[in-house]
Chains A and B, each alone.
Chain A
Amino acid sequence: MGAISKLAARPWIWSYLGLLVVWLATVTFTGGKGGAEILSAALSFGTFTVIVGLGQMFVITTGPGNVDLSIPATIALSGSLAMKVMGGADAMLLVGLVVSLLCGVAVGGFNYALIRLLRIPPIIATLSSSFLVLSTAIAYGRGLKIKPPPMLADFTTARVFDIPVLALVVAGLAVAMSVLLNRTIYGRSVLAIGQNMRAAWLAGIPVERIRFLTYLLSAVLASLCGFVLAGFSGGASLNMGEEYLLASIAVVVIGGTSVAGGRANVPGIWGAALFMFLLVTMLNTFGASAGVRLIMTGLIIVAVITIAGGDKPQR
């Protein structure tokens, strides 16, 4: 087996190929101008999609029907809570982070309680909890747009050699998540449950505990995203999470994770997040109208998923 066919068998390769093609098309159109800046912008904005994408990946991997739709609401609540608690003071930075993460723990726990205790399907459970979460954010968040503490704002927008520092940190997070997925009992259990929940249960895996941890992880990552996103964009707003509903699912799927569960892929999430940003940038640069942009985005996503398809379970 040659190196190329080996590479082609990697499910994440397609998202990277896609981003390369899209980037080349954009740079060709601008006559080679701004290529590096576009990549740098993609890195800084792709970061946020990656954070929520990682959590969504674990949830989706636990099998058909598992998806976390409360991510946008969690982002909004965690961002506004943290900004309000910190009130723009550097000294409160840690407190803000803890509050934000606790908010994720609460939402994740609540989601799972709905799924487990009330036996509501995850899609409905997380969607309805997202209404509650967003309503909390609305009720609590009058007087939003509190500026983030300068330290947080500086950290989230800092760059080293034009590479956003946050992107480097999240790259580290992705590596950690990859280890968690492939090298720990928890990660292996997630994959096993996604492949066959009953078999996993018979093999002695504590299925419900693992699912609980997975929804918790997803909500905590969404909270973290809300925290840094609010720092990055100069404050929280009620609709700041809106675009991450579809994006979190799209990057997981484009990145080569199986929608049917049981097969996950961390590197693909990075590729897909950058690809999604560059795709919009390309169509904006071409001056495509919003309608064309949406149609193209849809078609290209379908195309990438089709090409990257094939369903071999991961062991």
Chain B
Amino acid sequence: MLKKSLMGAVAMTLALAAAPALADTSGKRIALSNNYAGNSWRQAMLKSWEKVTGQAVSEGVVAEAPAFTTAENQVTEQAAQIQNLILQGYDAIVINAASPDALNGAVKQACDAGIVVVSFDGIVTEPCAWRIAVDFKQMGAVQVDYLAGRMAEGGNLLEIRGLAGVFVDDEISAGIHSGVEKHPQFKIVGSVHGDWAQDVAQKAVAGILPSLPEVQAVVTQGGDGYGAAQAFKAAGRPTPLIIMGNRHDELTWWKEQKDANGYETMSVSIAPGVSTLAFWVAQMILDGKEVPKDLTVPFLQINQDNLEESLANTEPGGVANVEYSLADAEAVVAGE
């Protein structure tokens, strides 16, 4: 009996001694709690997560990193899901949240259970969690800045917004409006909600277009550019400068126009691979590294000269993407 436990102790010591050869997080389990999977961006996000974490698991960086998606995109459902993840004893939970504040209760429970919570894209406001936020305001503002560079004389803008009531929509729109204040030669003559979906945007734009004066440019939130282009075409109007949002259909259309008549625009969005950035941040925290609570995700901007390259790397139906490595994540944490 004594011998047995002694041997056990020896084995344990050996195991402990062997541990430093691997990363300190090799026994850690990180879960992704995701609220929605029904569009191409989210599909790409989950794929990137699978790819990067799959490799991290096989290399022994972490023990496992499964992704869980709720079926109904509802706060109650995601809160219950987080509670399940707490009970299952994950070391870290990475969240793309259905609501910035309604999940705070569940997030607090996770923190109290000693779990590292990292939210990204759809962030949570609970102070104990880390936030990898997108500067959506800036994403709106850069569009108008770009237009100011292209059209010194200004002109009429049509704004296509996202899904009403979602904070991302409010932020991007606020950014666009602040951009218009900065460049008063532009005027927003119409505003519709395109729900980040090509067909919804097409419908909304087709509806409002007949009542609008000539539109020089369309500011967008991504996913809606191609629909806008089609609505202008159907109405027999000249194609304005439409800012794109990195979707494959938008880039394809841009490429066709560029080849046909030298059409020039820019495209900006967030790479779905930001989920992998969140994964590495969670891993770094578990590793005991010092990570500030608020981080900002870099944009993925596509310009006239790197359009072909970006399009080639984007799969049909998808969105332009980059996956992050640990080194990339370290750079973001260092604020570079």
Chain A positions within 8 Å of B, measured between CB atoms, are: 26, 29-30, 33-38, 41-42, 44-45, 131, 134, 138, 141-146, 157, 229, 233-235, 237-240, 242-243, 277, 280-281, 284-285, 287, 290-291, 293-294
Contact = CB atoms under 8 A, between A and B. Distances in A.
A44 B206 contact: yes
B199 A144 contact: no
Interface residues of B, number: 38
Contacts of B195: 239
B207 A235 contact: no
Interface string B54-96: 0000000000000000010000000000000000000000000
B139 to A, nearest CB: 19
Contacts of A45: 203, 206-207
Contact of A142 (B191, B208, B210, B317): B317
A127 to B, nearest CB: 10
A237 B235 contact: no
A45 B268 CA distance: 29
A234 B198 contact: yes
B316 A134 contact: no
Contacts of B133: none
A80 to B, nearest CB: 9
23 contacts: A26-B211, A29-B211, A38-B207, A41-B235, A138-B38, A142-B317, A143-B317, A143-B318, A145-B248, A146-B317, A233-B198, A233-B202, A234-B198, A237-B199, A239-B38, A239-B197, A280-B204, A280-B207, A281-B208, A281-B211, A284-B207, A290-B164, A291-B165
Contact of B211 (A38, A145, A229, A239): A38
A280 B38 CA distance: 25
Given A144-B317, A281-B207, A237 B226 contact: no
| Interface residues of A, dominant DSSP | helix
B315 interface: yes
Of B161, B202, B206, most buried by chain A (CB within 10 Å of CB) is: B206
Contacts of A233: 198-199, 202, 227, 230
A138 B37 CA distance: 9
Interface in B236-267: 248-249
Nearest to A45: B203
Contacts of A36: 210
A240 B199 contact: yes
